[in-house]
Amino acid sequence: MTTDVLNKDYAMGALIEGRGVFIGTWAPADSEGRHLGQVFNLFAAPEDVPGLYKKMPFNQAAKKIAQLGHFHGHAVTMAASSATSLVTASTYKGEWFIPPRDVVTDNLLGNKLNGALATTLPARHYRSSTPSRTRANKSWVFNRLGQGTRIDRDEPIIGAVRLVRAELKLG
């Protein structure tokens, strides 16, 4: 697990060398909504993954992301069934991943709406890794106002992906 050894309070939207754009903190919860007692500093990639803002199914976009290998100085992973299980695993080393629903709405789009990331997120729609609770073959896509739509993972849609990475916040 990657720990933020500097353990600083970063300015929202600041590009932190070697880390990414600071987008706030995240306290992941399990599928029942119980917080796991860990808080992470979240960093977004400085740009959307190139070539994905066109009509394609989620599964095809995920494959293209996995093929990147590295992006802005860090590995890319698609290894876990959920972002929560990924970042809490002892094997997590700060790789980029497709953010879950709460990170897209709260950390990315929420900060865009309040002005902190206004110029950083240019796309109209962003994909999330969170599957629908009622239909496993569906995932969430959010517009720039944070309004979500469940989309079949095989349905071609237009949606950008902004990868994120997490570092355990100490104290």
pLDDT in tens, 28-83: 887 777 888 889 999 999 998 888 777 787 778 888 888 888 899 999 987 656 77
Query: Would the pLDDT of 138 be above 60?
Result: no
pLDDT at position 96 is 92
Q: Which amino acid, residue 156?
A: P
Predicted TM-score (pTM) of this structure = 0.82
Place of tokens 């306290």: 27
Place of tokens 């069934």: 81
Query: Would the pLDDT of 151 be above 80?
Result: no
Query: Would the pLDDT of 165 be above 90?
Result: yes
